[in-house]
């Protein structure tokens, strides 16, 4: 009789543990499901994941230099997360992470006699330079976003070398074929973010 009683108690303990595990798993599932739907809510994405500071400045220079404003926004998000004081370990500066030598060259093309390294932290100047540079790369690579972004990240010289060595056409789109992992990841990220900005800020 004692053995029977012990077995009943053991079964009850097992059932309680199973019930507890089921409740915990159900709670985690429902919490995850709720979090997923909350994160898909556009105002949440706009506020926390796809912010858009300097919107008017981006729009102004995108229109002036004939660049998709969503592409500029996506580049800024990837480069600096919209932090104007950003500076990389390689020396890239500001919102669009311009290298000083490149920025100085851009200033000459734009006839900006007031160029200074510290001035690159100014949002207006940095966005102007970076957007013009994107425009210049888009023209050089015949409107191919993949090649233009690869050049923005790895340098136009590298991209021309890859095109020559691998016989890439002007309409090249195979991101996985880009030799540098950092550049592959960068191009994929920016193009994905460009699409998301277009969805979240339609008509802008």
Residue-wise pLDDT tens digits, 94-116: 999 999 999 999 999 999 999 99
Q: At 175, list the tokens.
A: 């991101």
151-158 — which CB contacts under 8 Å span 24+ positions?
152/75, 153/180, 153/182, 153/183, 153/186, 153/187, 154/180, 154/182, 154/183
Please say if the pLDDT value at position 126 is more than 80: yes
Please say if the pLDDT value at position 71 is more than 80: yes
Indicate the pLDDT class of residue 42, thresholds 50, 70 and 90: confident
CA distances from 54 to 74, 88, 129, 188, 197 (A): 13, 21, 14, 23, 14
Q: What is the pLDDT of residue 46?
A: 76
Decide if 56 is catalytic. Answer: no
CA distances from 62 to 4, 41, 107, 117, 161 (A): 80, 27, 17, 23, 28
For 107-135, what is the mean pLDDT? Answer: 97
Per annotation, catalytic residue among 42, 56, 63, 79? 79
Please say if the pLDDT value at position 39 is more than 60: no
Mean pLDDT across the chain, nearest whole number?
Answer: 87
Angle 141-175-49 from CA coordinates, rounded to 5°: 100
Please say if the pLDDT value at position 22 is more than 90: no
Distance CA(181)–CA(183), nearest Å, equals 5
């Amino acid at each position: 009789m004692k053995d029977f009683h012990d077995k009943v108690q053991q079964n009850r303990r097992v059932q309680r543990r199973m019930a507890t595990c089921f409740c915990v798993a159900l709670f985690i599932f429902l919490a995850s499901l709720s979090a997923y739907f909350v994160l898909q809510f556009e105002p949440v994405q706009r506020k926390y994941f796809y912010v858009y500071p300097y919107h008017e400045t981006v729009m102004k220079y995108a229109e002036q230099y004939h660049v998709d404003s969503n592409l500029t926004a996506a580049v800024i998000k990837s480069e600096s997360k919209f932090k104007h004081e950003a500076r990389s370990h390689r020396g890239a500066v500001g919102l669009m992470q311009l290298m000083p030598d490149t920025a100085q060259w851009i200033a000459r093309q734009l006839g900006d006699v007031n160029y200074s390294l510290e001035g690159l932290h100014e949002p207006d100047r940095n966005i102007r330079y970076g957007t013009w540079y994107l425009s210049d790369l888009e023209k050089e690579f015949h409107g191919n976003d993949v090649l233009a972004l690869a050049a923005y990240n790895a340098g136009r010289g590298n991209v021309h070398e890859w095109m020559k060595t691998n016989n890439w056409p002007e309409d090249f789109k195979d991101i996985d074929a880009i030799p540098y992992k950092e550049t592959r990841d960068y191009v994929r990220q920016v193009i994905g973010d460009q699409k998301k900005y277009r969805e979240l800020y339609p008509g802008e």
